[in-house]
Structure 1
Amino acid sequence: MRRVVLFGYRGTGKTAIGTVLSRRLGVPFLDTDALIEQKSGRTIPDIFKNDGEERFRALEREAIAGLPTHDVVVGTGGGVVMDPENMERLRRDSVCVLLAADPATIGRRLAKSPRPPLTSLTPDEEIAQVMSRRRRQYAASADFCVDTSTTSTEEAAGRILSLLKEGTVPPQVQEAAFRWFVADAPGAPELQRLESLLTGPDRDVQTRFLGIAGYPCSHSKSPLLFNRLFERYHLNCHYTRFEDPSVATILQVARDIDAKGLSVTIPFKRAVMAYLDEIDDDAAQQIGAVNTVVFSCGAAHGWNTDWLGIQKPLTGFSGTRAVLLGAGGVAAAAAYALTNLDMEVTILNRTPEKARTLAEQFGCRWRAWNGFDGMNPDLVVNATSLGMQPDTRSPLRDDQLKKEMTVFDLVYTPPVTPLIAAARKAGCATITGTEVFIHQAREQFRLFFGIDVPDTTIREILA
């Protein structure tokens, strides 16, 4: 039996429900807080009071590192999700269930608890603040979600047993989803894999699906990367392509099969926002585009990691004047990243009105597409699709590139675009779109699973 790990805020019932669940499964129940108290000979409140939270978290990591890897139910502390090292260990070969409850119910339950508060706030304020701070990590922790607000301990344990045995998606719904994937005509190996996972006689109902949402998206390296990462971190997941001209259809199919998450690519980064329940990310709100969707507890949450993929390769860059080519969703993420680095940005676009609109949004300058000559920027960022198959043109002429410039092409397929090749020939420093892909994918994986993948690991997979 796969290890079952219960996550959730204090008062959601992890210990009580875990005890019943373990009894009904015929396996031990281990509570990480109880293990810490047993090993240290002290109570959790005493550790917090006399040694501080940092010492408690160290003891918590030790307890988690020593847990059995199968045939056990594990109840975790409410803050365990904040540590990527813990998440890497707890998610390995496990089914992860998030227990949720409304704040009022949690407040009533905690009023009966001997545990001291975590902050100096009132109980209601503390619950709201801490749950908000952990919201992203709780969403990442959930393979399945059970609301315990109005259920008894036995009912909640029964619900988890049903999830483990039957999953969340009826067979007829998975069969309909498979027919949709077939219409996209994926390659034979992927089609066989999807058939086995969705409709096969031995299908694993605990397998979670993720994918790249776009039209087209056959060029994406995300399926290769994420499926290799699933193998490396022992996650029972599969990553595929959700390719359709309608983003509404893609979101509906994803919801139908209870997908864990989506990476969103062209042309849907703006349009997808209308189909999400919440935009959790201030950056996504300001950029007006989402490239990451996390499904948790019946809701679709939107995030943007593109801007981090653009900003991180520029760490330490000393130039101040940047020209941004393009005015679409990726260009908005680039404008956000560049202005966040306090650069003076001028936006060029073939439709000047779009350049002006984006420039006004971020306090930048703008010009028509032919306004590049004579600008001599320190940095040129290509946020158009020029250079990506099948349009392999460069957005700039060779004579416009000067060796004093750094050229950053956000297109990553092919790895060396015509613009990058021309820039290198002109003696420019270059940054390829692969760097964007690596850093934004790393952030996506953390949003999906709470695990922090070293960028060196991603580079090894893509090599």
Structure 2
Amino acid sequence: MRRIVLFGYRGTGKTAIGTVLARRLGVPFLDTDALIEQQSGRTIPEIFRKDDEERFRTLEREAIAGLPARDIVIGTGGGVVMDPKNMEHLRAQSTCVLLTAEIATIRRRLARAPRPPLTSLPADQEIAEVIARRRHNYAAAADFCVDTSRTTNEEAAGRILGLLEHGTIPAPVREAAAKWFAATPLPAPEREQLQSLLTGPGHDPRTRFLGVAGWPCGHSRSPLLFNRLFEKYQLDCHYTRFEDPSISAIMETARSIDAKGLSVTIPFKQDVMACLDEIDDAARQIGAINTVVFACGEAYGCNTDWLGIKKPLAGHKGARAVLLGAGGVAAAAAYALMDLGMEVTILNRTPEKARALAERSGCRWGAWDDFDRTNPDLVVNATPVGMQPDTKSPLRDDQLKKEMTVFDLVYTPPVTPLITAARKAGCATIIGTEVFIHQAREQFRLFFGIDVPDTVIREILA
């Protein structure tokens, strides 16, 4: 069997429930905190008191790296989810279950087995604050969720066994989802593979589904990238395309099959916000979403586009920048450029849209024809012009000066007409693939808690 790994804040029942679950499965149970105490010859409170949390995390990382690969139930420490290396080791060939409980329940349980406080706050406030700080990490750790607030250990173990055997998607829902995907423009090989995973003989109920949501999204390289990453990190997941003109229909299907996450692309980055339970601060300020994480019945919206744009521009802090476009991608670009302290002017063929985004972002704005008066150091194209099949450039060749750096956020094709013209003019250039690499890396961390090196993504996309 695959490993079963239990995550959750301390006091949610990982050790007690894990012991029952292991007994019922007929396999060993290993508690990582107990393993650390055994290997170090000291109790956890002693390690915290005589050393510090950093030393404890080092010991925890070493213990987790040496855990058996199969046929075992593992209970983890509450903060283990904060370390990407831990998540890489724990998620491999594992089914991961997040245990949750109400704050009052956790407080009562912790009172029976005191541990060093994590902050100087009162107990209830500390629990709430630490859980909030780790919330996205816990979501990344969850294949399945079980609320243990009102269950006995036997009942909670029984629920987990039910999830392991049946998953969360009833057979009629699987059939309906398979029909929905069959009616979309999903390429035949991808459709056949997805149909097999949803309804085929011997399908695994523990397989989690993710995908890119767009209309259209047939050009996206995300399925190739993510499915290769699933193989590398040994994750029981499948990434497909949710291609439909309605974001509501996409979200309904995603929720019905208990999807793990979505990468959201044109034209849904703004419309999807109305379909979410929670939106992070950066995405709210940008006004666009490109990442949805589903966990414990809720959908969380984030934006990793701005990080994908910021990383390749780290050496351009303080530059004079012209941003072409005023849509969802442009909003993320404006956020990234302002975060780098640049002087930003937004230009759009509909000046009112440029003005609206500029006022929201704290930038200057103008009409498209104002480009020749801006004298920028950096030009960022956040329009879809240049994306296949629209093979044009948003600027004339004579508008490109060799002193400029040109960054085209379009990544299909990798070398767009704008990039080709900029190179002929002697400009420094950054291609849109760089955005895709860095934003996808951050998406993968949000989905699974694992930090993928840039080099791994580049090798897959090469």
The TM-score range, normalised by the shorter chain, is over 0.9
Q: Distance in 2 between matches of 1:50 and 1:392?
A: 64
Q: Which moved more, 1:113-122 or 1:361-370?
A: 113-122
8 Å CA contact retained: 2:93, 2:236: yes
Aligned residues: 462
2:345 paired with 1:365: no
Structure 2 partner of 1:430: 429
- The runs of 5 or more residues in structure 1 that have no matched partner are none
* Equivalent residue letter for 1:352: P
Q: What is the CA distance between 1:382 and its match in structure 2?
A: 0.3
Q: What is the CA distance between 1:241 and its match in structure 2?
A: 0.1
Q: Which moved more, 1:105-114 or 1:291-300?
A: 105-114
Q: Distance in 1 between matches of 2:225 and 2:71?
A: 30
* Equivalent residue letter for 1:116: P
* Equivalent residue letter for 1:222: S
Q: Distance in 2 between matches of 1:24 and 1:370?
A: 71
- For normalisation by structure 1, the TM-score amounts to 0.99
8 Å CA contact retained: 1:319, 1:379: no
* Equivalent residue letter for 2:160: I
SS at match of 1:316: helix
Q: Distance in 2 between matches of 1:266 and 1:185?
A: 16
Structure 2 partner of 1:374: 373
Q: Distance in 2 between matches of 1:125 and 1:284?
A: 27
Structure 1 partner of 2:257: 257
Q: Distance in 2 between matches of 1:407 and 1:31?
A: 53
8 Å CA contact retained: 1:262, 1:293: yes
2:84 paired with 1:80: no
Q: Deviations over 1:427-462 (max 9, x none)?
A: 000000000000000000000000000001000000
Q: What is the CA distance between 1:282 and its match in structure 2?
A: 1.1
Structure 2 partner of 1:344: 343
8 Å CA contact retained: 1:263, 1:291: yes
SS at match of 2:441: helix
* Equivalent residue letter for 1:32: T
Q: Distance in 1 between matches of 2:188 and 2:336?
A: 40
Q: Distance in 1 between matches of 2:388 and 2:431?
A: 16
Structure 1 partner of 2:451: 452
8 Å CA contact retained: 1:319, 1:378: no
SS at match of 1:118: coil
- The runs of 5 or more residues in structure 2 that have no matched partner are none
SS at match of 1:315: helix
Q: Distance in 2 between matches of 1:407 and 1:6?
A: 47
Q: Distance in 2 between matches of 1:417 and 1:299?
A: 38
Q: What is the CA distance between 1:114 and its match in structure 2?
A: 2.2
Structure 2 partner of 1:406: 405
Q: Which moved more, 1:343-352 or 1:315-324?
A: 315-324
Structure 2 partner of 1:395: 394
Q: Distance in 2 between matches of 1:161 and 1:442?
A: 32
2:402 paired with 1:415: no
8 Å CA contact retained: 1:352, 1:367: yes
Q: Which moved more, 1:98-107 or 1:21-30?
A: 98-107
Percent identity between the two aligned chains = 78
Q: Distance in 2 between matches of 1:142 and 1:385?
A: 35
8 Å CA contact retained: 2:346, 2:364: yes
Q: Distance in 2 between matches of 1:386 and 1:319?
A: 27
Structure 2 partner of 1:287: 286
2:98 paired with 1:118: no
Alignment of 1:50-199 (within 5 A): 50-199=50-199
8 Å CA contact retained: 2:287, 2:328: yes
* Equivalent residue letter for 1:146: V
Q: What is the CA distance between 1:319 and its match in structure 2?
A: 5.3
Q: Distance in 2 between matches of 1:26 and 1:130?
A: 34
* Equivalent residue letter for 1:381: V
Q: Deviations over 1:89-128 (max 9, x none)?
A: 0000000000011112111211222212111111111111
Q: Distance in 2 between matches of 1:459 and 1:447?
A: 19
Structure 2 partner of 1:317: 316
Q: What is the CA distance between 1:35 and its match in structure 2?
A: 0.5
* Equivalent residue letter for 2:48: F
8 Å CA contact retained: 2:218, 2:241: yes
Q: Distance in 2 between matches of 1:131 and 1:100?
A: 10
SS at match of 1:61: helix
Structure 1 stretches of 4+ moved >3 Å: none
8 Å CA contact retained: 1:174, 1:198: yes
